[in-house]
Structure 1
Amino acid sequence: MNRIRNFCIIAHIDHGKSTLADRLLETTKTISERDLQDQVLDNMDLERERGITIKSHAIQMNYEHGGEMYTLNLIDTPGHVDFAYEVSRSIAACEGALLIVDATQGIQAQTISNLYMAIEHDLEIIPIVNKCDLQSAMPEEVEDQIIDLLGCDRSDILRASGKTGLGVQAILDAIVERVPAPVGDPDAPLQCLIFDSVFNPFRGIIAYYKVVNGTISKGDLVKFMATDTEYDADEVGVLRLDMEPRKSISCGDVGYIISGIKTSKEVKVGDTITHVDRPAENAISGFEEVKPMVFAGVYPIETEDFENLRASLEKLQLNDASLTFQPESSAALGFGFRCGFLGLLHMEIIQERLDREFNMNVISTVPNVSYLVYDKQGHCTEVHNPSGMPDPTLIDHIEEPFIRASIITNTQFIGPIMTLCLGKRGILVKQEYIHGDRVELFYDLPLGEIVIDFYDKLKSISKGYASFDYHLSDFRPSKLVKLDILLNGDTVDALSTLTHFDNAQSFGRRMCEKLKELIPRQQFDIAIQAAIGSKIIARETVKAVRKDVTAKCYGGDISRKRKLLEKQKEGKKKMKQIGTVEVPQKAFLAVLKLD
């Protein structure tokens, strides 16, 4: 155990984590020249196309230091705020962390939030300034920022370059010397913490774990404590570039287990594995439950694909524990699932993975957040969907979730960023100058305002320089209203939205105008109305298709024409009573793209 080191790499998005991980694997000869490619640990097509890490990846390396062989377990983590849950799980399985900061950009929002997460778990932090080979690098200034943040000595900070391999040897030596060995008792009852799992169509579910106490061997009868199920360990081993089977995995090490588990409900991330014949007294206190931020309905395009969609989501949930879902139905879209995501990028990635990995074509509804609705008796209900709102006369007040956002930017962009935040009903809490011309703004913002396009707008007005990080702070009373869309007096539930009273009028008007373009004309007039409760706030009319009934009258008295027109008018009135309006599928999708 004294020769095992478990560590992860944490950084802001695009600061060079995966490239530096490549150099570490190359230097320790874990990977052959033939298998070497850029971002070797990013094995998903999506990750390679977008150049981002979506999943954390574990891999074991061997390194010789001072005449002794050490085992290094590395976990490479994502940098985007939407995948922060992956980072928290990786940190729970480590004793040390490499904090990487880009020498050209300095400290960003995600650097700080990931660092605080690591400090909470008492990890040993090794600060590294990366990309030192670039012309625009400012290593001295970035080192000053790190010293301000960590309070460490300048000699503790390592300079490196993931591209050229500069300083990689020093990083490996620092890992061996500074990161503490894992603590645990090899002879105690077995306790393994599951930090990830994947679904393999041939071998069932493979769980990745860190052995905290005891030893797990091939052929052991093991029990998963949270689900209380028992299995034979058909194969145990360590994670190299591929999985390498071993006879046993001992205390402090990271490995995998294959035991022929077929149903995804039986493996939970954060669960504890123990022996059946000599069980541990209690489970390891795992990581906190994930709190989804954004909710959206996901519906199959073909109704009969509902069960396939359920199976696909369950398999995806194994690999991405931050996805939550429950069944729901909509009058317009049929049966589907209400899914919880950590953000819009997360939602987009899940949709893309459903399409690529499971061939599922899905429609997703407009993303929204959950609200707390209090009635006149003081009872509180949580509402994720506008159709679940009680009658407006019974509601006392509605509370919406607020987040505490931290935005780090260059001083020249303060004005436009403040305007953007105020437009989203933001409240400035404080602003702090970090170093030189870099400033950190703290805002309280309603989550419902930022889920659609806030991040994109922030990036464009700051020319890509502002970085954004947030966490849920509390629920606050707000003047929210349910905006209904009526077609000829009938409510269309899939088009209802919850919005702030101040924005409702303009949003309702834009919605009616958009629907007028998309709904085909009928034999009778169609009234499209936006309403708050019983008050109509906007209206558009799709005019009827008219037939010239007087065409056959040549000459003669005007009363003959009037008689025909009166007859047509009666027919239209009768048709309007029994006619219904078909809303085309593209109308639902167009409403999502209103902005």
Structure 2
Amino acid sequence: MTQSHIRNFSIIAHVDHGKSTLADRMLEMTQTVADRKMQAQLLDSMDLERERGVTIKASAVRMMYKAKDGETYMINLIDTPGHVDFTYEVSRALQACEGALLVVDASQGIEAQTLTNVYLALEQDLEVLPVVNKIDLPAAQPDEVAQELENLIGTPAEEILRISAKSGIGVADVLELVVKEVPPPTGNEDAPARALVFDSHYDVYKGVVAYVRVVDGEFKPRDQFQLMATHAKFDPVEIGVFNPVMVPVESLKAGEVGYIATGLKTMQECRVGDTITLANKGAEKPLPGYKQVKPMVFAGIYPTDNDDYPELRDALEKLQLNDASLVYEPETSQALNFGFRVGFLGLFHMEIVQERLEREYDLDILATAPSVKYEVIKKDGTSIFIDSPAQMPDENVIAEVREPWMKIQIYTPQNYIGGIMDLVIKKRGEVVTTEYLDANRVILHYLMPLSEVIVDFYDRLKSISQGYASLDYQLDDYRADDLVKLDVLVNNEPIDALAMIVHRDHAYHKGQKLVSKLKELIPRQMFAVPVQAAVGKRVISRANISAMRKDVLAKCYGGDITRKKKLLEKQKKGKKRMKMVGAVEVPQEAFMALLSLDDDD
């Protein structure tokens, strides 16, 4: 098919604005999927995606559509994740398109992630087509939302389509709009072949399957290919398109979207954002925009039973094959034995990985509270990056500690500004600017340490704003601050997995809170257990978990007092001996207690 009849577009939206439902209706209308095989959220293949109603992995599908002008068009839809943690995947998917369909919920209006994705689309110079969805809801305000969109991207409100993806109202108009407004690809069919890898997954038989958008030239199954960033060469196992299942084809030409089954066995060799070209007489310059994804949040993951360590390692290996942004390395903890330090893109990503490990691989795991990557400058001028409080060097050798700060945008109705500002200041945030979108809605711009964002900030933002506020964030830079390591000792033994890095001004308050919480969560033993919080060598808070008592005098109903004293003395010695050899089991809830150390209650 000629490039003039190809349309590549993406659907961008905030979480739960109806993106996957709209994709379902388009598949039905173009008869890409037979009615008997149709199901809700067809492109969301993971159970987790269906349950949470969130697209986690990008997916692509080719549809053939006969337009009103009588011509048949090849429409490639690239479905993107909507969550802030997967922004890099969204940006790569958008680079594979010429247009973006901006879907906004008629009852919710524009939210933070919508705005971020719009800016990403405009950066890639895409044609942005706004659409107001869910107009059949009782709380829908399609005209007000259309006006918001006009203010944002300049499309006249009366020209913006009003649709309901669930009931199918106006979906045919959306397809017509895509054919009419999205520009066709402009690749050079005679130039050396180049294709952008915008996503990938791992197949046991075909190796790494790269999702590609061919920019120039043509790819045939008999050629040898090369990845330009990793220099890995391979003979393809198969070349094909998504329909929405994988269908092999004879070739992929400039402007088309499909997949190349590479046969490679590790994701490290084929990363999202890389360029595939021919091994012989290939392109000299890769496509722009490739960068490695850097994890932002780190946590320790340990098996509850130490015998499951090999199973956990295998599970993480397999998971990494389907999720190139996951990084991990082995680590040991005095309290939890052997496990892994795992890096995630954000808290939501961490939650998804944890749930997949438990469900898909049937593992019982313990996860420590998340931390971020700090830069420690030593007095001798050298600097190291640490992603776990356990790696923090001794206080005497540290010149300064730097932590990552984030640019934060919060979308909210204006009557919640006071509560949100209060929350941000408590979390060491700084106010930058406030922008009024209209009489009611505002965007608040803040700077804030990432370590404060990952600990219950999102939950508290939602409760303050009654669910109306939405959040988006990007890395700003690293800043030095007065940060110290807060150690937790249970029965005089430091529990490294409970250690945390905090601001010195908050150390006493957080230590006290943590000790009180652990006192409730750690089960009572046969002996008294002290729980302490310490900064360096100085204990700043302590609580005792009292021992379980047995009435040893019950059988002593008469006689001399010395008999009772003798029994009590014997019990005292037994408790002392027990305390020396007794181990205290710290439950999972204790590690998660670090996440809910509220600053105000």
Q: Same fold (TM over 0.5)?
A: yes
CA distance, structure 1, for counterparts of residue 259 and residue 94 of structure 2 = 18
CA distance, structure 2, for counterparts of residue 419 and residue 106 of structure 1 = 25
Q: Which of 158, 170, 175 is the aligned partner of 2:173?
A: 170
The aligned runs of 1:5-154 (5 Å cut-off) are 5-65=7-67, 66-154=69-157
Asked whether the 8 Å contact 2:266–2:321 carries over to 1, the reply is no
Asked whether the 8 Å contact 2:106–2:133 carries over to 1, the reply is yes
SS in 2 for 1:445: strand
Asked whether the 8 Å contact 1:58–1:73 carries over to 2, the reply is yes
Q: Does 1:302 align with 2:297?
A: no
The AA in structure 2 aligned to 1:373 is: V
SS in 2 for 1:228: coil
The AA in structure 2 aligned to 1:528 is: V
Range with greater deviation from structure 2 (389-398 or 506-515): 506-515
The aligned runs of 1:154-553 (5 Å cut-off) are 154=157, 156-517=159-520, 519=522, 525-543=528-546
Range with greater deviation from structure 2 (451-460 or 511-520): 511-520
CA distance, structure 1, for counterparts of residue 112 and residue 346 of structure 2 = 16
CA distance, structure 2, for counterparts of residue 308 and residue 526 of structure 1 = 34
Range with greater deviation from structure 2 (107-116 or 455-464): 455-464
Write out per-residue CA displacement over residues 361-410 of structure 1, whole angstroms, 9 at most, x where no aligned residue. 32211011122222223332222111111111222222222212111111
| Structure 1 position 433, deviation (Å) | 1.1
CA distance, structure 2, for counterparts of residue 407 and residue 553 of structure 1 = 70
SS in 1 for 2:263: strand
Asked whether the 8 Å contact 1:325–1:340 carries over to 2, the reply is yes
Q: Which of 1, 4, 22 is the aligned partner of 1:2?
A: 4
Asked whether the 8 Å contact 1:553–1:561 carries over to 2, the reply is no
Question: Structure 2-normalised TM-score?
Answer: 0.91
State the Cα RMSD in Å: 2.8
CA 1:207/1:358 → structure 2, altered by over 3 Å: closer, same or farther? farther
CA distance, structure 2, for counterparts of residue 72 and residue 30 of structure 1 = 11
CA 1:264/1:403 → structure 2, altered by over 3 Å: closer, same or farther? closer
Range with greater deviation from structure 2 (133-142 or 181-190): 133-142
Asked whether the 8 Å contact 1:160–1:168 carries over to 2, the reply is yes
CA 1:91/1:551 → structure 2, altered by over 3 Å: closer, same or farther? same
SS in 2 for 1:260: coil
Asked whether the 8 Å contact 1:191–1:211 carries over to 2, the reply is yes
CA distance, structure 2, for counterparts of residue 304 and residue 472 of structure 1 = 39
| Structure 1 position 229, deviation (Å) | 3.0
CA 1:523/1:374 → structure 2, altered by over 3 Å: closer, same or farther? same
CA 1:312/1:105 → structure 2, altered by over 3 Å: closer, same or farther? same
CA 1:556/1:396 → structure 2, altered by over 3 Å: closer, same or farther? same
SS in 1 for 2:288: coil
Asked whether the 8 Å contact 2:521–2:587 carries over to 1, the reply is no
Q: Could you list the runs of 5+ residues in structure 1 that have no partner in the other structure?
A: none
Q: Could you list the runs of 5+ residues in structure 2 that have no partner in the other structure?
A: none
CA distance, structure 2, for counterparts of residue 521 and residue 142 of structure 1 = 56
Asked whether the 8 Å contact 2:556–2:564 carries over to 1, the reply is no
Write out per-residue CA displacement over residues 159-198 of structure 1, whole angstroms, 9 at most, x where no aligned residue. 2221232332322222222212212222222212211111
SS in 2 for 1:349: helix
Range with greater deviation from structure 2 (44-53 or 182-191): 182-191
Write out per-residue CA displacement over residues 261-299 of structure 1, whole angstroms, 9 at most, x where no aligned residue. 334433222222222233222332343332322211112
Asked whether the 8 Å contact 1:219–1:235 carries over to 2, the reply is no
CA distance, structure 2, for counterparts of residue 339 and residue 550 of structure 1 = 53
SS in 2 for 1:211: strand
Asked whether the 8 Å contact 2:143–2:157 carries over to 1, the reply is no
Range with greater deviation from structure 2 (92-101 or 18-27): 18-27
| Structure 1 position 588, deviation (Å) | 4.3
| Structure 1 position 244, deviation (Å) | 1.3
CA distance, structure 2, for counterparts of residue 553 and residue 67 of structure 1 = 103
CA 1:207/1:526 → structure 2, altered by over 3 Å: closer, same or farther? same
CA 1:436/1:248 → structure 2, altered by over 3 Å: closer, same or farther? same
Range with greater deviation from structure 2 (304-313 or 187-196): 304-313
Asked whether the 8 Å contact 1:219–1:234 carries over to 2, the reply is no
SS in 2 for 1:2: helix
Asked whether the 8 Å contact 2:366–2:588 carries over to 1, the reply is no
Asked whether the 8 Å contact 1:215–1:251 carries over to 2, the reply is yes
| Structure 1 position 242, deviation (Å) | 1.0
Asked whether the 8 Å contact 2:60–2:244 carries over to 1, the reply is no
Equivalent in the alignment of 1:579:
581
Asked whether the 8 Å contact 1:23–1:162 carries over to 2, the reply is yes
Write out per-residue CA displacement over residues 111-167 of structure 1, whole angstroms, 9 at most, x where no aligned residue. 111000111111111111222333433233222211211123446522222123233
CA 1:310/1:185 → structure 2, altered by over 3 Å: closer, same or farther? farther
SS in 1 for 2:254: coil
Range with greater deviation from structure 2 (406-415 or 500-509): 500-509
CA 1:296/1:586 → structure 2, altered by over 3 Å: closer, same or farther? closer
Asked whether the 8 Å contact 2:209–2:260 carries over to 1, the reply is yes
Aligned residues: 593
The AA in structure 1 aligned to 2:282 is: P
CA 1:176/1:501 → structure 2, altered by over 3 Å: closer, same or farther? same
SS in 1 for 2:371: coil
| Structure 1 position 571, deviation (Å) | 7.7
| Structure 1 position 206, deviation (Å) | 1.8
CA distance, structure 2, for counterparts of residue 563 and residue 24 of structure 1 = 85
The AA in structure 2 aligned to 1:204 is: G
SS in 2 for 1:425: coil
Asked whether the 8 Å contact 2:300–2:339 carries over to 1, the reply is yes
CA distance, structure 1, for counterparts of residue 464 and residue 221 of structure 2 = 56
CA 1:247/1:536 → structure 2, altered by over 3 Å: closer, same or farther? same
CA distance, structure 1, for counterparts of residue 207 and residue 358 of structure 2 = 21
The AA in structure 2 aligned to 1:176 is: V
SS in 1 for 2:208: strand
CA distance, structure 2, for counterparts of residue 411 and residue 503 of structure 1 = 30
CA 1:304/1:502 → structure 2, altered by over 3 Å: closer, same or farther? same
Write out per-residue CA displacement over residues 509-558 of structure 1, whole angstroms, 9 at most, x where no aligned residue. 23333444555666765432211111111122345668959988986796
CA 1:335/1:355 → structure 2, altered by over 3 Å: closer, same or farther? same
SS in 2 for 1:449: helix
Question: Structure 1-normalised TM-score?
Answer: 0.92
